[in-house]
Amino acid sequence: MASISTKRKISKLTDDIAALEKTIKENTRKLAELKEEKTETENTEIISIIRKAGLSMEDIEELIDGGITQVQAVPKPPEENTRSVTSELKNERKIPNET
């Protein structure tokens, strides 16, 4: 038969385990929230950079696919941001069209 002090110790350990599990659960939730916030902040920064560079969807796809090895983006007024950086590069640097 377990002594009273052993029962108290088991009860205390059970309480400590429950408290720690609760803390872990809360911290896991906080960690997930912070990771999500970090990703959203990074995405916002990426979008801002792309807009400032005036890149088109085609330019981004080419960059991702490795079609453009170097881009020197110069911020342009908003009305000019729809022009393709790829076409500018091909015209200025005489890059042959890939077919």
Amino acid at 94: K
Residue 98 lies in a domain: no
Residue 72 lies in a domain: yes
The residue segments making up the domain with residue 69 are: 4-93
Per-residue pLDDT of the chain (99 residues), as tens digits, is 679 899 999 999 999 999 999 999 999 999 999 999 999 999 999 999 988 988 888 888 888 888 666 655 555 555 554 455 455 555 554 445 554
Residue 27 lies in a domain: yes
Residue 36 lies in a domain: yes
d(CA 79, CA 96): 27
Residue 59 lies in a domain: yes
Residue 99 lies in a domain: no
d(CA 61, CA 78): 21
- The pTM (predicted TM-score) of the whole model is 0.54
- Looking at the structure of the chain, the number of domains it has is 1
